[in-house]
Structure 1
């Protein structure tokens, strides 16, 4: 395994981050059996992945509980545990968002589910238009002062809002976000026209979610055929990826994979790993086989010409509807 620093911080993370959204029972395509999920997590840790990402909203806390079980028998100091806050956790007032009350309540709830004393990276899952950013940053700052949180990060928002948060933190001497978790892969490149230039300018670490486009770039689907399994069979969010340009990208991925005796997933992840701005793509394997295949992407080398071939079919355009999902 290779390691890097997250953004301009001193925090060392593995070049691949294990995403735990798939571990739980909220959706039919998730890993419902906790023992199966624990086996994948344990194998990831044995392979040297020290960076694990979840969220309180993933299966309403079930994902955090599974991760907590996996880490219970390990040396906690060896791992960088990331989770998030924003989405609804219960009905009624103060059940969601980034108010001081919701953040402080959910931070403690996440600690309990993760069975840990602290969270290494606490991320706002989305921007909250109903809460002043000063209130959100002040709440996060207090968690750092208490030692409950070590670093703070953000996820999926327009660049101007992210810059507003960074500026507010600088002006008020609040803890600054060190990372941005955004959708980024070979067919979802809209962030190149939004937040990624800002991250480069501000030395913000980038940890892309959905690096394989929900399995599209792992060559799980066939053009012209209705998917009968996997996430695309039940998730309308996947349908946006079945475009002519995206199929053209996948065809290039397939050709390069054949040339390099690699898999489509490995080539797609390698493209991200070659981006200087990208620190640690968040992989979401549901099986040990998929996990090991993903990790082998670290050994795939792409030339500048090959990367250009992969990027040629798409011209990145920022679409707020996509960015705010």
Structure 2
């Protein structure tokens, strides 16, 4: 691509000067993301079972610093600190008046989100509890429930990239993929992806 010899506008020059990262398209999609991506698994509630996570105040400062330097792609999951990571991201966007369209929010679904910080589905058997039915896995009901909850915590009308966090052998692939397709068509999700699976499982989803 060639550019004219016109001088760079002051606002663009300032933007270019503060941009400290690169951008590339995500996979075969047209979505442009920052390199690196900012991982938010370490944000949450230190009073829970993971005392090493950063609280809202410290996490928000890091997110703002990343945004100011061009790292505009933030990756989280519904299960990180039982949704607190997502909540911190949503609050940060609002408190710093960051335009929603200038960040790429990536989140994940599969694990149930505990109703208190002492419950972590990845470490505890919650599948038999009356309070967590259709709140985990990749059934249509579970995916839709997870997305609606993530939208509330992120305080956003859409998720840029929704990733399934594990492979679910108990649900027909067609059901999972149809649910993801319907979410994209609804506008609540713009792109889909997958995380933390064997190569053969990725292949089955193609």
Q: Deviations over 1:157-215 (max 9, x none)?
A: 1111111101xxxxxxxxxxxxxxxxxxxxxxxxxxxxxxxxxxxxxxxxxxxxxxxxx
Q: CA deviation at 1:28?
A: 1.5
Map 1:158-197 to 2 at 5 A. 158-166=198-206
Name the CA distance, whole Å, in 2 between partners of 1:11 and 1:71: 20
Q: CA deviation at 1:70?
A: 1.1
2:56 is matched with: 34
Do the aligned residues in 1 keep the contact of 2:24 with 2:33 (CA within 8 Å)?
Answer: yes
Determine whether 1:144 maps to 2:168.
no
Q: CA deviation at 1:7?
A: 0.6
Do the aligned residues in 1 keep the contact of 2:135 with 2:145 (CA within 8 Å)?
Answer: no
Stretches of 4+ aligned residues off by more than 3 angstroms? none
Determine whether 1:13 maps to 2:36.
no
Higher relative contact order (CA 8 A, sep 6+): 1
Determine whether 1:23 maps to 2:35.
no
Name the CA distance, whole Å, in 2 between partners of 1:68 and 1:114: 4
Gaps of 5+ in 1: 167-325
Name the CA distance, whole Å, in 2 between partners of 1:83 and 1:138: 19
Map 1:103-114 to 2 at 5 A. 103-114=143-154
1:169 is matched with: none
Q: Deviations over 1:39-98 (max 9, x none)?
A: 011101011001000010001110000000111211111111000000122443222101
SS of 1:13's equivalent?
A: strand
Determine whether 1:85 maps to 2:109.
yes
Name the CA distance, whole Å, in 2 between partners of 1:112 and 1:156: 25
2:135 is matched with: 95
The match for 2:77 among 19, 38, 55 is: 55
Name the CA distance, whole Å, in 2 between partners of 1:18 and 1:70: 14
RMSD: 1.0
Name the CA distance, whole Å, in 2 between partners of 1:76 and 1:89: 25
SS of 2:160's equivalent?
A: strand
2:193 is matched with: 153
SS of 2:192's equivalent?
A: strand
SS of 1:112's equivalent?
A: helix
Q: Deviations over 1:15-34 (max 9, x none)?
A: 10111110112401111x31
Q: How many residues align?
A: 165
The structure carrying a bigger helix percent of its residues is: 1
SS of 1:101's equivalent?
A: helix
Map 1:116-265 to 2 at 5 A. 116-166=156-206
Do the aligned residues in 1 keep the contact of 2:44 with 2:85 (CA within 8 Å)?
Answer: yes
TM-score, normalising length: structure 2: 0.78
